[in-house]
Amino acid sequence: MKNFRIPRVALLLLGASFFACQSEKTEMQEDLQNGISPEIVSKLADYDMNTNGVTKVDFLLPDGSTQPMYQVEGDIHMTEKQIKGLNSVQGLSARNYHTNNLVNQNTTINIIGYTGGGGYGLSSKERTALQWAVNNYNRLNLSISFNLTYGTNYGPQDMVVYHNPNQNGAGGSAGFPEGGKPFKFVQIYGLNNYDTNVVEHVITHEIGHSVGFRHTDWFSRQSCGQNVNEGTAGVGANPIPGTPSGYDPTSVMIACFNGSDDGEFGQYDIVALNYLY
């Protein structure tokens, strides 16, 4: 999940002012537990997620309908059922920068770029950026691969990438895998004034969340000009073997993006992807 700040921007997952995972730099919301039940906050905390600024949101779908979700860490979205199904990771030495939920190995992910009306369809630039993002993953010959099509029939697809015309700022939003499948809905917004490489970067980042990656600067959100820890022990506490434990500004998975990003994986992103998939 990445953000821009002018120069950096943060990504959102869906919800209030952030979506998972990248968007223009904005401050994390205060009073995240406002109106959120203690059970939800406790489950998220046990899963090593930052519970500051958790909000209930109406997640916008490509057909204009909404689904109630919780927005966490600015750009991660989960349903109440998903949150209640999380296992505690406190005290575990899980690998960092990814969740315990991953996509099943040897999976072809059918991904569709939405081309419908009402402001939800991808522009020509965004369709090109989506193709480049898919190419980023497929050229690595991982155990997961993507089959990209364009159209409006997103129901049977594993993942749909679409534009959110109602979101302020610039960035994207997604969620984490469940049941061995990627998070289905990947939103982008406010990117018309950025070049195709930056749009590619945001989409690549959000797809990264959808297959199980957390921000590489979860411990500081340094890329957003912040000093906020998204989680302490457990998930995200230890680096994936072969990757640095400190801040890696070259990663496509840092919390905020930059207007000069080229949309390509950093060398340690590739190490991490090959380790997981």
Tens-place pLDDT, residues 46-68: 766 777 778 888 988 999 999 89
Fold category of 1-277 in CATH: Collagenase (Catalytic Domain) (3.40.390)
List the helix and strand counts (H, then E) for the chain: 5, 12
pLDDT in tens, 16-27: 222 334 554 443
Is beta strand 159-163 parallel, antiparallel or unpaired with respect to 55-60? Answer: unpaired
For the chain, give every domain's residue range. Answer: 1-277
Task: Find out whether 2 and 254 touch, Cβ atoms under 8 Å.
Answer: yes
Percentage of the chain surpassing pLDDT 70?
A: 77
> Hey, what are 58's tokens?
């109406």
Q: What are phi and psi of 23, to 5 degrees?
A: -165, 175
Confidence at residue 11, expressed as pLDDT on a 0 to 100 scale: 57
pTM above 0.95, yes or no: no
Tell me the angle at which helices 196-210 and 124-138 cross, rounded to the nearest 10 degrees.
50
Which residues pair with residue 107 across a beta bridge? 144
pLDDT in tens, 206-242: 999 999 888 888 778 889 888 877 763 333 334 677 7
